[in-house]
Every structure is written in structure tokens, then in C-alpha cells.
Chains A and B, each alone.
Chain A
Amino acid sequence: MNRTRIAIDVQDVVKTYEEGRIHALNGASLQVREGEFVAITGPSGCGKSTLLHLIAALDRPDSGRIAVNGVDLVHMRDLSLYRSHQVGLVFQLHNLLPTLSASANVQLPMYEAELSLWERRARAKRLLEAVGLGDRANTPPTKLSGGERQRVAIARALANDPPILLADEPTGNLDSKAGQMVLDLLRSIQRERGVTLVLVSHDLQIARAAQRIVRMLDGRVVDEGVASSATASGTAEGEE
């Protein structure tokens, strides 16, 4: 795989809410290489989650350019296919459907992948085993712990084997032990599958797990730094 290729290219993106009264992004730019693990950090309200949501195509920017693996998201009419096959998204709140089992939740993105029922079930089983929940496939999210729910959400994000994984404060609602477990899982997935991982966190300690840390302030990327040996030990250096 060519590691120097740009997977995510965000240029001068502006996003406002409430008829322009709230400026979430003020010309934010960001480039992420294929297979890279980047953490976006910054204070609350700096626009980091908005930027992640735009990359996930959950919303459209007011202006600027967002291209993911060469696909122009700003002008693409139907973003569903992109959302189902190009990106996997992990939210702070797991956002699982409480009435469905863990396996059924993991299968949700697969409905758009034209897989048979048996293929969907088998793939969900494999993914749940990969996140260490092979024995909880039929358990509804209400009977899982916070860490387990987030692991199911990670399995769901990987359902259609996307090349890009986006995580919005994935440990924000977990205790430190469960949070570390989720972070380790995301990191191992990024390494083993070679996916591009963009993680948003206000917690610098979490962000230090990344290869590169991007700091945002007032809707702009203001600083970038390489976390020292994130790939090896998880300790950071020079990100500030």
C-alpha cells in the first residue's frame, strides 16, 4: 500500500449554524495520509467534532473542499454509499439501537452491501469475535457494559471493511480502564488492517496514542505535531 497517498484532504472548510450566527469551522484545513492515525484535539467548541462529521459526510460544509480517497464530498449528490463503504464511524455515545442484539447492530451497515443474510451473520460474528465479544452476539446493548457497547460500535464501524475509521470521543463516556481497552482496540485495528484512523478527543492523554496530533482552536487547525512513538509505546512527544 502506498503510505504517502493522501486519504483525507480538507481545504479551507467553513461551517456555520443558526443562519451564520455560530461559526463552527473558519477555514479549517487538514490532510491525512493513507493508513495514518491522527488525533484531533482542542478545547470544547473548537470545531473538532464538526470537522469529523463533515469528513464522515453526516453534514455538508458551507464552503471549502473535502476529498476522501479522491472523492469530492462537497459535490457528491448521494453520500449514502460513501458513508456505508468508505468510512466507519464511532460516536462518543455508542449510538446502538437498544432493541436489537449486538449482532443485529453490527449488521446494520451491511444492508447496503448486498450481502446475503448468512454472509451478514457470519461477518458480524467474525467482527464481534475480533473485538472480543464473540459470546455476546445475541445480547442487546442494554445488557452490555459501556466498554462492551463501544466495542460493538467499533465492530459496526468495520462492518463493510471501510478504509477509513473515524472516532468521535470514543472513550469520553468510559472509565479509564474501559477507555484504555477501547483505545488499544482502535490502535490495533489501525495497525492490523492498515486503516486510516482519525480520532477526536479533548483528552491529550488519549490523543497521544496517535501518530500525529492536530490541535484546533476557534474552528481552525492551529498546530500539528508528531506524537513520538505512538505506534510503539503510546507515549507522546512534541505535540504541543
Chain B
Amino acid sequence: MPFFMLIFRNLLRQRIRTLLTAFGISLGITTVVALGIVTDGFKATAQQVLRAGGSDFAIGQAGSADLTFSTLTNDQLNAVAAYEGVEHATGVLMAVSRLGSNPFFIQLGVKPSDLQYFQVPLVAGRHLAPDGTNEILLGQEAASQLGKKVGDTVDLKDRTFTVVGIYRTRDTWQDGGGILPLATVQEYERKPGLMTLIYVKAKPGVNLDELTARIEKDHPELATLRTVSDYGDVDQGVQFMDAANLAISFLAVFIGGIGVMNTMVMSVMERTREFGILRAVGWRTRRVLQMVLGESILLCLIGSLVGSILAVIFTRLILIFPVVRSFLEPEYTPEVFIRGLVVGVAVALLGALYPAIRAVRLSPIQAIRYE
């Protein structure tokens, strides 16, 4: 019988116990993997936010706790636009409010004249008219959820807006929201002359590192944003999720480790005599350790596999809710599943270390006589 089969058969001796332990581990792994998938989804969304409208980078207020708290002025917009390497700077005011069944409908206030730079490909209708204060462009996902088409109206912030166009950027957060005239959003948000972000389109051939460094040097109150790690300068949400992910991973290892240890200690104690026999027929300490650790690792690998499958099912299921679909596209990266696997193996090693040492600590004859 191959050594691996010996390990596998040992797990089958107490089928119910093995199944329950694997299920317990799988729940921990489900949490770790699902959180990773969601976090990566949010990071992808954050990356999309920074590159919205085909811009090269975005600028926010340095030190904001949340992106929506970022406040920029017209003077700052003009100062950025004045840089030699900047082709165009678009000021955008973001707002979030309920629309229909979606409590997080994202609105982008953009000057209609900027829409030639801030690119949103239309699939129906036209762009905002320069004087169209009560016009709205809807993302395709939002239009679908609301059941609206060009010419229909939507009620938002006690106003009625006419849908003049439907766009599709393939960015989840943008396609789940809408674009309105900047002045209109500033008015109903009571933020006259203020913006959330400045989207910068640089001139061709301009060194973006130098340009962003110069802007930050000249304006320490501004944070240039090109990557997800830059995003943390204006929004602590991603960092918070990363920290939560790490904390939950440690918790999963700790709690899962205790569960595995419980199972393995019981298994090893029940088989003390058997380990004595194996040592008596010449098994080295290392082989006994391999067997106990192998059982634990196999148990946790099964738990990790089931947990990863459950995580995928869970993250697909939450997309049933339109509100989630409008700002989250789960990211199934290999790293997330590898992390789940690493957590599973860590649980296995943590849980089996003591039982494995216990299994080889007794002399063979002590173990054989063990009652």
C-alpha cells in the first residue's frame, strides 16, 4: 500500500469526525477566501475609479479618511490644469444616494463640456447638453436595474431628471451609477464650487512620475493617485479591509488550529499503541511524524478545497443583490486561493505539531503497553 494511501485510510477510520473537522476548517477557509475575493474586487473597483474617463491619474485631498470626504476647489483644479504637461483636468464631484432599490447609487457631477475628455462611451442617446441641468446619463447596469431607457425620467434628490443617454464603460461602479451636470450635483449636495476628484489627462510623452511628483511638491494638500496603494492616501477603506482580512486569516488559523489539534490529539491518543507497534517494527520517528502531519495536512487540504468552492459560490450568490452588483465585481485571482491554501496548511501544521510530537515521545514499549 502506498504511504499516501495509509494516511488516507487513517482519516477514513473515523469518518464522521474527519468530515466534521474538514467542514469546520472549510468554514474558516471560506471566510478567508471570500473576504479576499471581495477585497480584491474592491481594489479592482478602486483602480477603476482612479482611471475613470480614460485619465492618466486622479488627484484627491491628501489625508481623507474616505474618498467621498475629499474636497477640492476650483482654484486647485485651475492650478492643476495650468501645469505644462497636463492636457486636460476634469473636476468631478461624487455623491451617493438612494435611487429605486439601490441605496448606493453613485452620481458623478461632470461639466458637460468636459465629457469630450472624460470618456464615457454611449450605447444609446446623447451626452449632456451644455445647459441641460436636469439631464442624466445612466450606466448600463443602473438603467437595467431601474428598467429605464433614453427618454424616461428618474427621481433623484427631489428632482426629476430625463435620461438622455446610456453609457457602458465596463467599470462596475460607473456602470451602476449615473453622470449629471457638475453644477447640479454641487447644488443638491450643497457643495458649491467643490469637487471630489480631479481627473488628469497628460500630454503625450509626458513623464507621469515627474508630473505627479511636481504637483505633490507644489501642493502638499493634494494626493496624486495612480495605483491602489495610492488610493489609501484618500480612502482608508481598502487598508481597513486588508487589515480585517489579515486579522480574520489569523483568527481562522488559530480557531481552525485548535479544532484540528483536538481531532489529531484524539486520533493520536486512540492510536498510541499502534504508534508503538509501528516503532517496534522499525518505523523511524520521522516517518511517524510524516504520517501524523500528513493526516492533518490532508484533512486541511480537503477543508481548503471545500472552503474555496464555498467561497466562490458565496461570492456569486451575493451578486444576486443589485446593490452589490452595482459597485462590486468579485476578483477570482490565484493569489486569493493560494492564500486560502496557505492558511489551510498553517492550520494543519499548528494543529498537528503537538499530537505528532506526542506520538513519537513515548518509547515503543511504553506505547505498546498504553491503555
Cα A81 to Cα B277 in complex, Å, equals 15
Q: Evaluate contact between A83 and B279: CB separation under 8 angstroms.
A: yes
Q: Is A12 among interface residues, defined by CB-CB distance under 8 A? A: no
Q: Evaluate contact between A80 and B368: CB separation under 8 angstroms.
A: no
Given contacts A59-B365, A97-B274, A112-B287, A85 and B1 within 8 Å (CB-CB)? no
- Chain B residues near A144: list those with CB within 8 A: none
Q: Evaluate contact between A56 and B280: CB separation under 8 angstroms.
A: yes
Q: Is B159 among interface residues, defined by CB-CB distance under 8 A? A: no
- Chain B residues near A29: list those with CB within 8 A: none
Q: Evaluate contact between B3 and A111: CB separation under 8 angstroms.
A: yes
Nearest-neighbour CB distance to chain B for A35, whole angstroms, equals 22
Q: Is A191 among interface residues, defined by CB-CB distance under 8 A? A: no
Nearest-neighbour CB distance to chain A for B5, whole angstroms, equals 9
Q: Evaluate contact between A109 and B277: CB separation under 8 angstroms.
A: no
The residue in chain B whose Cβ has the minimal distance to the Cβ of A85 is B282
Q: Is B181 among interface residues, defined by CB-CB distance under 8 A? A: no
Residue in B13, B282, B366 whose beta carbon sits within 8 Å of that of A80 in the complex: B282
Q: Digitize A67-111: 1 where CB-to-B-CB distance is under 8 Å, 0 elsewhere.
A: 000000000001011111100010100010101100010011101
Given contacts A59-B363, A104-B1, A95 and B368 within 8 Å (CB-CB)? yes
Q: Is A58 among interface residues, defined by CB-CB distance under 8 A? A: yes
The residue in chain A whose Cβ has the minimal distance to the Cβ of B285 is A80
Nearest-neighbour CB distance to chain A for B215, whole angstroms, equals 68
For chain A residues 22-65, which have a beta carbon within 8 Å of chain B?
A: 53, 56, 58-60
- Chain A residues near B273: list those with CB within 8 A: 95
Q: Is B364 among interface residues, defined by CB-CB distance under 8 A? A: yes
Q: Is A149 among interface residues, defined by CB-CB distance under 8 A? A: no
Q: Is B278 among interface residues, defined by CB-CB distance under 8 A? A: yes
Nearest-neighbour CB distance to chain A for B361, whole angstroms, equals 14
Q: Is B2 among interface residues, defined by CB-CB distance under 8 A? A: yes
For chain A residues 103-160, which have a beta carbon within 8 Å of chain B?
A: 104, 107-109, 111-112, 117, 156, 159-160
Q: Using C-beta atoms within 8 Å of the partner chain, give the interface range for chain B.
A: 20 to 34
- Chain B residues near A111: list those with CB within 8 A: 3, 283, 287
Nearest-neighbour CB distance to chain B for A120, whole angstroms, equals 8
- Chain A residues near B13: list those with CB within 8 A: 99
Cα A59 to Cα B368 in complex, Å, equals 11
Q: Evaluate contact between B1 and A58: CB separation under 8 angstroms.
A: no
- Chain B residues near A97: list those with CB within 8 A: 274, 277
For chain B residues 274-313, which have a beta carbon within 8 Å of chain A?
A: 274, 277-285, 287
The residue in chain B whose Cβ has the minimal distance to the Cβ of A56 is B280
Residue in A60, A91, A95, A109 whose beta carbon sits within 8 Å of that of B282 in the complex: A109
Q: Evaluate contact between B281 and A109: CB separation under 8 angstroms.
A: yes
Q: Is B316 among interface residues, defined by CB-CB distance under 8 A? A: no
The residue in chain A whose Cβ has the minimal distance to the Cβ of B12 is A99
Nearest-neighbour CB distance to chain B for A62, whole angstroms, equals 13
Residue in A84, A89, A107 whose beta carbon sits within 8 Å of that of B1 in the complex: A107
For chain B residues 74-130, which have a beta carbon within 8 Å of chain A?
A: none
Q: Digitize B250-286: 1 where CB-to-A-CB distance is under 8 Å, 0 elsewhere.
A: 0000000000000000000000011001111111110
Q: Digitize B337-371: 1 where CB-to-A-CB distance is under 8 Å, 0 elsewhere.
A: 00000000000000000000000000111101000
Q: Provide 23 A-B residue pairs closer than 8 Å at the C-beta atoms, listed in order of the A residue.
A: A56-B280, A58-B279, A58-B364, A58-B368, A59-B364, A78-B284, A81-B282, A83-B279, A83-B280, A84-B281, A84-B282, A89-B280, A89-B281, A95-B277, A97-B277, A99-B13, A100-B1, A100-B9, A108-B278, A108-B281, A111-B287, A112-B283, A112-B287
User: Interface residues, chain B, CB within 8 Å of chain A?
Assistant: 1-3, 6, 9-10, 13, 273-274, 277-285, 287, 363-366, 368
User: Interface residues, chain A, CB within 8 Å of chain B?
Assistant: 53, 56, 58-60, 78, 80-85, 89, 91, 95, 97, 99-100, 104, 107-109, 111-112, 117, 156, 159-160
